[in-house]
Amino acid sequence: MVIHIVNTNKQEITMVVGSTLSRREFLKLLGAGAMVGILGKFANFGPQNTQFQPISREASAQSLGQWSIGANTSIPPIHAAVLRNGKILYLSGSGYNSGNQFGPFKAALFDPGTNSESIYVMPDDLFCCGFSQLGNGNILIVGGTKDYDTGTDGKWHGTNVAYEFDVDSSSFLKVQSMAHGRWYPSMSILPSGKVFVMTGYDEYGTLNGLTEIYDPTLKTFSIEYDPSSSLVYCVGSGSTLPGAGSPCYGGTNHGVNPSSTTVYSRTIVMPSGLVFRGGQKQSLYMWDPITGKWTSAGNMIALGRKYGTAVLLPLENTTSERGRVLLVGGQPTSGGNPVKTAEIADFNAGTNLTPVIKSVPSMNYARMYVLPVMLPTGKVVIFGGTSDMNTTFVFYPEMFDPVNNTWTALPPASVGRQYHSVAMLLPDGRVWTASGTPSMSKFEPRIELFSPWYFFAGPRPTISGPPTVGPYGGTITIPTADASSISSVSLVKIPNTTHHYDFELRLVWLQIQSTTSSSVTVSSPVNANLAPPGYYLIHVLNSSGVPSAGQIIQLPGLSGPPPSPTVPSDPLSLQATAGDAQVYLSWAAPSSNGGSSITSYKIYRSASSGTETFLAATGNVLSYTDTAVTNDQTYFYKVTAVNSVGESSQSNEASAIPSTPPPPPGPNSFNYTTSDNVSIKDTLTERLRKHHKFS
Ligand SMILES: [Cu+2]
């Protein structure tokens, strides 16, 4: 059933629940009704204090950036996503507030066009769920909180529910539930367009050992096992709660995940198509989503990086790219002081399965709960975090240059960001920071926006309309009046983030193929491993490295540009006609010129069938006379067609025997009969007889 609630700002709120209402859901609905009464005071988006107010350009060209405060959010954006229509979806569920653990569970849609926030009240508590953007731009939401840690076992219990947020209808659609609960799951879209989900605490608070694959077409989950492992996972194992300990999954050559998994493991789809898992615990793993196989990938230098981060550094758009992962900050041990160290797991220097671990310079500030954001310039900025468990803010963002491995401290924020905060790149190039929970039942309502240096470095290039997007391996044509000044083009995954991590964060540099006065054409990503299906922000950058605002595009493109030309098909109907000391060749044009005009034909010749070698080239004509021949020898020929791309395969074979022509017919013929009675005919006459069929 779908429930619509209209708040005092005349915004309609849609709520989807199962076909029947349980008593608990009914109680939650009562909570929703109560919400309507108090929405008015949240819906205060005056133009003097909006999240998307005009950007100040007063800063000098040397500015490293500038902060501005936006409007408050009415609920904590513990999970947040930029949607393909430019709106921001955020979700808090019970919002780390034990007073809300039985509802109401909330989400919100912020529309920057109208500066309005619509509140949703949900039947399930999606607090501490997982977020992923599907290929069609919908947001897949899995798991969340079944029970707070206020029960007898003192553990958080995960729910197994799953939803899609449908962007077109701005509503939540409940889909098939997962096999078991997940609180703090890891997940990401795969090159196939399906989504993997792993880890999280199950409905008894035990680490969920299953990997499940969501099929967005069927809207169902299936479990994937590791054929090289025999590990077993029993639901609720170790819990004394009633019902815990079964069922069990896994077994011989049908194993579950390696036991060193953590909740919210940092996972990244690498250019090899394998999934990297690392950055919380010291041990690194690779997982093959096609076979289900796990492989150990060694250890990082830090003993651990709990609530540190793992960021895929910018990718070159080539099939030889294997990727590098920046590992930075976090706690080496649970409860320990966070570190400022950084290292890179370099797969380009290693193999697809085993990175080379390289130490790089440390940040200036030790921190955990860090918020990584990829700028359109290819620099990674680490925002926020705390230098201790959750008290002392680090206000300074730090920008990592992945080419020179250097850090630059940026101007400090005025609002600190701690546990349960988020940071996302907006299409206009600003960074949106929000939320944070200093303690249970308290949250930071202030939004703060960071405008990086490129807002203060002269005119930015602009993209003047929707790009034409081709398939993987094709091209993307970007309309821009600044085409002549564009020197690079970046593609950044549209962000979705929770618990200080965007599992799908990535940037791909796209090679410029050609430029006109009004457009730039680049190579689209060569495959879905580099850029899994979905929505991306594409930016053009001028020679000073100043990026345009991002245009939201979908990969792969639905209607690509015409395919690039190929070589022609082979010429048709080759015929060879013998003459005296010459052979006359003729043929018909190929059925296809390959999308590019025929420029010439090439003639191949041999004295034996099938062994023709190059003889001569012609212009774009359909005949050739071979005069370099000897009479009474057999010649074999083939022909190819050539266009701007190259040469076709060879035509059919034709042969001829050049010879001396017969003499003109004589008036007489002679028969001789020798004395020994042998009849001899005049040979010329005999030839004419054959020619003219007289006797
Ligand atoms: Cu949480």
Distance 127 CA to ligand 1 centre (A): 7
CA–CA distance, 213 with 613 (Å, rounded to integer): 56
CA–CA distance, 647 with 631 (Å, rounded to integer): 31
Asked whether 366 and 329 are in contact (CB, 8 A), the reply is yes
Cα dihedral across residues 203, 254, 130, 133: positive or negative? negative
Q: What pLDDT band is residue 20 in, cutting at 50, 70 and 90?
A: very low
Distance 184 CA to ligand 1 centre (A): 7
Distance 91 CA to ligand 1 centre (A): 12
Q: How many CA atoms lie within 13 A of 259 on its CB side?
A: 7
Distance 158 CA to ligand 1 centre (A): 11
Residue 487 lies in a domain: yes
CA–CA distance, 695 with 693 (Å, rounded to integer): 7
Asked whether 299 and 318 are in contact (CB, 8 A), the reply is no
Distance 489 CA to ligand 1 centre (A): 36
Residue 225 lies in a domain: no
Distance 342 CA to ligand 1 centre (A): 25
- Whether residues 536 and 587 share a domain: the answer is no
Q: Which of 223, 281, 222, 282 is nearest to 257 (CA)?
A: 223
pLDDT in tens, 248-294: 999 999 999 997 778 999 999 999 999 999 988 999 999 999 999 99
Which tokens hold the place of 588?
A: 């018909």
Residue 242 lies in a domain: no
CATH number at residue 539: 2.60.40.10
Distance 557 CA to ligand 1 centre (A): 36
- Whether residues 620 and 590 share a domain: the answer is yes
Distance 576 CA to ligand 1 centre (A): 81
Distance 172 CA to ligand 1 centre (A): 21
Whether the predicted pLDDT of 94 surpasses 60: yes
Type and span of the H or E element at 281: strand 281-287
Residue 671 lies in a domain: yes
Place of tokens 């970046």: 490
- Count of beta carbons in the 10 Å neighbourhood of residue 171: 19
Distance 169 CA to ligand 1 centre (A): 28
Asked whether 126 and 166 are in contact (CB, 8 A), the reply is no
Query: How much is the average pLDDT of 380-384?
Result: 98
Type and span of the H or E element at 36: helix 23-42
Distance 499 CA to ligand 1 centre (A): 6
Type and span of the H or E element at 686: helix 683-692
Question: If DSSP codes are grouped into helix, strand and coil, which group holds residue 262?
Answer: coil
Whether the predicted pLDDT of 665 surpasses 70: no
Distance 592 CA to ligand 1 centre (A): 61
Distance 469 CA to ligand 1 centre (A): 38
Which tokens hold the place of 650?
A: 């060879």
Contacts 24+ apart (CB under 8 A), 36-44: 36/5, 36/6, 36/7, 36/8, 39/7, 39/8, 39/9, 39/74, 39/119, 40/7, 40/8, 40/9, 42/74, 42/117, 42/119, 43/7, 43/8, 43/9, 43/11, 43/74, 43/116, 43/117, 44/71
pLDDT above 70 covers what percent of the chain?
Answer: 85
pLDDT in tens, 104-140: 999 999 998 888 899 999 999 999 999 999 999 999 9
Cα dihedral across residues 68, 73, 79, 82: positive or negative? negative
pLDDT in tens, 341-361: 999 999 999 999 999 999 999
- Whether residues 590 and 644 share a domain: the answer is yes
pLDDT for the residue 334: 83
CA–CA distance, 532 with 205 (Å, rounded to integer): 32
Distance 402 CA to ligand 1 centre (A): 30
pLDDT for the residue 493: 98
**For residues 295, 301, 303 and 306, what is the CA-based torsion angle, rounded to 10 degrees?**
-80
Distance 374 CA to ligand 1 centre (A): 23
Which tokens hold the place of 212?
A: 């499940």
- Whether residues 615 and 673 share a domain: the answer is no
**For residues 226, 232, 238 and 243, what is the CA-based torsion angle, rounded to 10 degrees?**
100
Distance 404 CA to ligand 1 centre (A): 35
Residue 547 lies in a domain: yes
Backbone Cα Rg of the chain? 35
- Whether residues 589 and 646 share a domain: the answer is yes
Type and span of the H or E element at 23: helix 23-42
Distance 502 CA to ligand 1 centre (A): 14
Distance 79 CA to ligand 1 centre (A): 9
Contacting residues for 10 by C-beta, under 8 A, at least 6 apart: none
Question: If DSSP codes are grouped into helix, strand and coil, which group holds residue 485?
Answer: helix
Distance 77 CA to ligand 1 centre (A): 11
Distance 531 CA to ligand 1 centre (A): 28
Distance 182 CA to ligand 1 centre (A): 12
- Whether residues 549 and 474 share a domain: the answer is yes
Residues found in the chain: 695
Distance 98 CA to ligand 1 centre (A): 12
Asked whether 607 and 635 are in contact (CB, 8 A), the reply is yes
The gap from C-alpha 104 to its chain's centroid, in whole angstroms, comes to 35
- Whether residues 526 and 581 share a domain: the answer is no
Asked whether 585 and 603 are in contact (CB, 8 A), the reply is yes
CA–CA distance, 103 with 672 (Å, rounded to integer): 125
Contacting residues for 145 by C-beta, under 8 A, at least 6 apart: 93, 94, 101, 125, 126, 127, 128, 156, 157, 158, 159, 183
Distance 128 CA to ligand 1 centre (A): 5
Distance 111 CA to ligand 1 centre (A): 25
Residue 587 lies in a domain: yes
Q: Which of 639, 642, 569, 640 is nearest to 599 (CA)?
A: 642
Distance 430 CA to ligand 1 centre (A): 25
pLDDT in tens, 33-81: 323 222 322 222 222 223 333 333 334 434 899 999 998 999 999 999 9
Distance 420 CA to ligand 1 centre (A): 6
Distance 129 CA to ligand 1 centre (A): 8
Which tokens hold the place of 309?
A: 């981060």
Question: If DSSP codes are grouped into helix, strand and coil, which group holds residue 299?
Answer: strand
Distance 422 CA to ligand 1 centre (A): 12
Distance 416 CA to ligand 1 centre (A): 18
Distance 208 CA to ligand 1 centre (A): 16
DSSP state of 152: T
Whether the predicted pLDDT of 500 surpasses 50: yes
Distance 510 CA to ligand 1 centre (A): 36
Whether the predicted pLDDT of 654 surpasses 70: yes
Residue 473 lies in a domain: yes
Residue 619 lies in a domain: yes
Question: Of 521, 555, 589, at which residue does a domain stop?
Answer: 555
- Count of beta carbons in the 10 Å neighbourhood of residue 385: 33
Question: If DSSP codes are grouped into helix, strand and coil, which group holds residue 238?
Answer: coil
Distance 270 CA to ligand 1 centre (A): 26
Distance 215 CA to ligand 1 centre (A): 26
Query: How much is the average pLDDT of 615-620?
Result: 94
Q: Which of 145, 195, 141, 146 is nearest to 173 (CA)?
A: 141
Name the β-bridge partners of 158: 145
Percent of residues in the chain assigned helix, strand, coil, to nearest 5: 5, 40, 55
Distance 251 CA to ligand 1 centre (A): 32
CA–CA distance, 611 with 616 (Å, rounded to integer): 15
pLDDT in tens, 180-202: 999 999 999 999 999 999 999 99
Q: Which residue range forms the structural domain that includes residue 610?
A: 572-656
pLDDT for the residue 560: 47
- Whether residues 529 and 581 share a domain: the answer is no
Where in 125-262 does DSSP place strands (E)? 130-133, 139-142, 145-147, 157-158, 162-166, 171-175, 186-189, 195-198, 211-215, 220-224, 232-234, 248-250
Distance 110 CA to ligand 1 centre (A): 22
Q: Is 611 exposed, middle or buried (0-12, 13-18, 19+ CB in 10 A)?
A: exposed
Q: Which of 391, 389, 395 is nearest to 365 (CA)?
A: 395
CA angle 86, 91, 93 (to 5 degrees): 165
- Whether residues 685 and 646 share a domain: the answer is no
pLDDT for the residue 591: 87
Distance 96 CA to ligand 1 centre (A): 7
**Per-position DSSP letters for 45-108, written without gaps between them:** --GGG-TTPPPP--S-TT--EEEEEEEEPSS--SEEEE-TTS-EEEEEET-S-GGGTTS-EEEE
Distance 606 CA to ligand 1 centre (A): 78
Query: How much is the average pLDDT of 486-497?
Result: 97
Distance 415 CA to ligand 1 centre (A): 20
Domain count, the chain: 3
The DSSP bridge pattern shows strands 679-681 and 671-673 to be: antiparallel
Distance 78 CA to ligand 1 centre (A): 8
Distance 144 CA to ligand 1 centre (A): 9
Question: Of 502, 530, 555, at which residue does a domain stop?
Answer: 555
- Whether residues 546 and 585 share a domain: the answer is no
Q: Which of 15, 235, 6, 19 is nearest to 124 (CA)?
A: 15
Question: If DSSP codes are grouped into helix, strand and coil, which group holds residue 490?
Answer: strand
- Whether residues 547 and 479 share a domain: the answer is yes
Question: If DSSP codes are grouped into helix, strand and coil, which group holds residue 320?
Answer: coil
Distance 437 CA to ligand 1 centre (A): 9
- Whether residues 527 and 578 share a domain: the answer is no
Asked whether 258 and 238 are in contact (CB, 8 A), the reply is no
